[in-house]
Amino acid sequence: MTSLAEAALASNAWPFQEARALIEKRLAKRGPGNEGGDKGYVLFETGYGPSGLPHIGTFGEVVRTTMVRNALQVLLPNVKTRLFAFSDDMDGLRKVPDNIPNKEMVREHLGKPLTRIPDPFGTHESFGHHNNARLRAFLDSFGFEYEFQSSTDWYTSGRFDEALLKVLAHHDKVRDVVLPTLGEERRATYSPFLPICPETGVVLQVPVVETHPDAGTIVYKREDGKLVETPVTGGAVKLQWKADWAMRWAALGVDYEMSGKDLIDSVKLATRITAILGGAAPQNLTYELFLDDQGEKISKSRGNGLAVEEWLTYAPPESLALFMYQKPKAAKRLYFDVIPRAVDEYQSFTEAFPRQDLGERVNNPAWHIHNGTPPMEPVAVSYSMLLNLVSVCHSDDPAVIWQYISRYAPSAEPGNMPFLDKLVKLAIAYYRDFVLPAKSFRTPTAEEIAALKHLRDEIAKQPDCASPEELQTVVYEVGKAHPCFADLRAWFKALYQILLGQDTGPRMGSFFALYGQADSLALLDKAIAAG
């Protein structure tokens, strides 16, 4: 019998492909039994800029990295792994975010590290601490296993001192890697080091005129012309972000980190700098960026994206994890219309899982979403079908929807199907906010009325317990019997527009079975009368 590890070795699921590449290109060089290297573990990392709140990209990076980490644990079960969620909270705040209170107070502290700016919300010791807490709460709400790390803590505690001294020792080489990517004006004053003014606390963009590796100091020129010598250790400076990223890779021994397509050039630069510092860049997956419904790149500042909170208002987190799982190297449109399909696909994958053998299971996205143990609740009704049921019921009462579900699937009830019960409430919210405002029922033509009457008569002949497949056959046969429809697609579109007030819809046989014979006949009678 194939073992889980053997199935994982043969799997074409991208997390297993990434894990195998990580082993082959990096971990295997350390020798069998020493894959964790000198530090004793394989380190995964995700980065977070805490000038704003966690967003859907944050979720995507952590959930995808977690999937690769879980895949590696299958292939190397005896090797310890860790995931660092690293906050760049030492960065100077460049502009005041739009979505915070006390903007004027924050504006007075522009340029300072986020952890030295008072919290505008008044709940934490600094703005950085506030957003770090929001990050941890955000990740905890999804049950991620990670270790939070603060850039401020690493710099000020001295844990980065050795790596910073290496950067100082190779100052010119590091600088020369970055210089060709800068404009002429920036090149004239660039140094990887950003001193933190001891008087104002501001992260300074000033020329570094001297470096003293033996003393562990730099000399910079203030705007007033004064020369100041400062150590590069103990939190007195921070690094420009590309050098900072590379220094962190080298200092921590990061083995795996993902990044977006917009950072391809930065990864190349950081890789070169890491080598200068005597380290090796981590295995990297470059993921594509999200697009809005018009195909434009999603931007937080433009507000054309879809927030995690918005997705979770209408769908379960598992469906968002599936969306992130699918084709990470392909650009995907992320807007409200993708939600129903994502939920239905998630239900399909979990429904198929119990019937699959081990080789099929490790290729099933549900395995990666749930780390091998997806829930086994049966799929009684799809999310799209719930949306259509809510549509024709014109009710926002879950109990009303459950009356239809229980008649369609007698064993189904909220107590033994909690996931479906959650979907009912989410479908009501989605219908209320997106389907109902766009509803427009079309009046049938005379030829369509004849087809609807024919369909009504045929459904009336069926037993009340007719299966969805039997009713679907009835719908097919009626549609084919009326030449006013060019094909069955035109017939179904007419049914959707006339009965449901929308251009797309469910398998009508399944819908009629769920809605029940009496109510289905009443729905058809109403449409016929409207013509």
> DSSP letter string over 321-387?
HHHHHS-TTS-EE-SGGGHHHHHHHHHHHHHHGGGS-HHHHTTSHHHHHTTT--------S-HHHHH
Q: Answer yes or no: is 216 within a domain.
A: no
Asked if 282 and 295 sit in the same domain, the reply is no
Extract the tokens encoding 337: 């219309």
HSE, CB side, 13 Å, CA atoms: give it for residue 214. 0
Asked if 400 and 353 sit in the same domain, the reply is no
Q: What confidence tens digit (pLDDT) does each residue in 347-366 have? A: 999 999 999 999 999 999 99
Q: Answer yes or no: is 309 within a domain.
A: yes
Q: Which residues contact 497 (CB under 8 A, 6 or more apart)?
A: 441, 442, 503
- pTM for this model (two decimals): 0.92
Q: Answer yes or no: is 77 within a domain.
A: yes
Asked if 355 and 481 sit in the same domain, the reply is no
The bridge status of strand 42-48 relative to strand 81-87 is: parallel
> For residue 4, what pLDDT is reported?
95
The C-alpha atoms of residue 400 and residue 393 are separated, in whole angstroms, by: 8
Extract the tokens encoding 227: 């020369």
| Stretches in the chain below the pLDDT threshold 70 | 1-2, 298-305
Q: Answer yes or no: is 235 within a domain.
A: no
> For residue 57, what pLDDT is reported?
87
Asked if 74 and 134 sit in the same domain, the reply is yes
Asked if 364 and 416 sit in the same domain, the reply is no
Q: Answer yes or no: is 229 within a domain.
A: no
To the nearest 10 degrees (0 to 180), the angle between helices 446-461 and 517-530 is 160
In the three-class reduction of DSSP (H, G, I as helix; E, B as strand; rest coil), residue 1 is classed as: coil
Asked if 391 and 504 sit in the same domain, the reply is no
> For residue 290, what pLDDT is reported?
84
In the three-class reduction of DSSP (H, G, I as helix; E, B as strand; rest coil), residue 259 is classed as: strand
Nearest alpha-carbon partner for 228 in 190, 188, 186, 195: 195
What's the per-residue H, E or C state across 74-87? HHCCCCCEEEEEEE
> For residue 303, what pLDDT is reported?
54
Asked if 103 and 143 sit in the same domain, the reply is yes
Asked if 259 and 406 sit in the same domain, the reply is no
CB neighbours of residue 461 within 10 Å? 8
> For residue 299, what pLDDT is reported?
61
Nearest alpha-carbon partner for 270 in 294, 241, 305, 298: 241
Domain count for the chain: 4
In the three-class reduction of DSSP (H, G, I as helix; E, B as strand; rest coil), residue 237 is classed as: strand
Extract the tokens encoding 419: 């996931």
Asked if 54 and 31 sit in the same domain, the reply is yes
CB neighbours of residue 51 within 10 Å? 19
User: What strands, in cross-sheet order, belong to the sheet with 217-221?
Assistant: 208-212, 217-221, 227-231
Q: Answer yes or no: is 214 within a domain.
A: no
Out of 287, 316, 349, pick the residue that ends a domain. Answer: 287
Are 487 and 479 spatial neighbours (Cβ–Cβ below 8 Å)? no
Q: Answer yes or no: is 15 within a domain.
A: yes
Across-strand partners of 86? 47, 149
Q: Tokens 């009508």, residue? A: 508
Are 22 and 65 spatial neighbours (Cβ–Cβ below 8 Å)? no
Asked if 37 and 146 sit in the same domain, the reply is yes
One-letter amino acid at 280 equals: A
> For residue 296, what pLDDT is reported?
75
Out of 392, 418, 438, pick the residue that ends a domain. Answer: 438
Asked if 256 and 131 sit in the same domain, the reply is yes
Asked if 340 and 263 sit in the same domain, the reply is no
Q: Answer yes or no: is 208 within a domain.
A: no
CATH code of the domain in which 461 resides: 1.10.10
Range of the domain at 170: 4-175+240-287
> For residue 1, what pLDDT is reported?
45
Out of 394, 418, 438, pick the residue that ends a domain. Answer: 438
Contacts of 396-404 with C-beta under 8 Å, sequence gap 24+, read: 396/428, 396/432, 398/424, 398/425, 398/428, 401/427, 401/428, 404/514, 404/515, 404/516, 404/519
Dihedral over Cα of 238, 240, 243, 249: its sign? positive
User: What's the first-to-final CA gap in the chain, in angstroms?
Assistant: 63
